[in-house]
Amino acid sequence: MPKEYTSFEEIDRRLKILELQRKIDQENLKLHFRQAKVGLVPKKVFQGLGAAITQNHSLKSILVAYVAKKVLGLLRRKKGEEKDPKRQTP
C-alpha cells in the first residue's frame, strides 16, 4: 500500500532520504568493485595458483598456472601496446 503524504515537506524529506540512500548504494558498489579489482591483481592470482599447486601436485594444476601466466603476459603486452600505439611489434 503506497504511503500517503500530507504535505510537500514530507515529500521533499522522503525524496532527500531516497537520494541519500541511492548515493550510499553507489559508493558501496564502487567500494566492492575496487575490492574485486584488487583481488584480481596478477600477483594475487599467482599466489592463489601457487597454493593450489602445493596442495594438489597434479599436472592439471601446473598446466593451469602455466596457461594463466601466458594469458596474463599477453594481456600485459596488449595493454602496453594500447598505451603506446607508435610502438611496433615484430
Q: Do 1 and 11 lie in a common domain?
A: yes
Domain membership flag for residue 20? yes
Distance CA 53, CA 60 (A): 9
Report d(CA 47, CA 43) in Å as an integer.
Answer: 6
pLDDT along the chain (90 residues), means of 10: 89 95 93 78 62 59 76 78 56
pLDDT at 74 (0 to 100): 80
The answer to whether residue 50 sits within a structural domain is yes
And the C-alpha cell for 51?
597454493
Given this model, what pLDDT does residue 55 score? 58
Global pTM reads 0.42
Terminal CA-CA length for the chain: 68
pLDDT of residue 65: 74
Sign of dihedral through CA atoms 32, 38, 44, 45?
positive
Does 90 map to a domain? no
Same domain flag for 49 and 23: no
Same domain? 45 vs 29? no
Domain limits for position 48: 40-83
User: What are the residue ranges of helices labelled H in 4-58?
Assistant: 8-39, 42-55
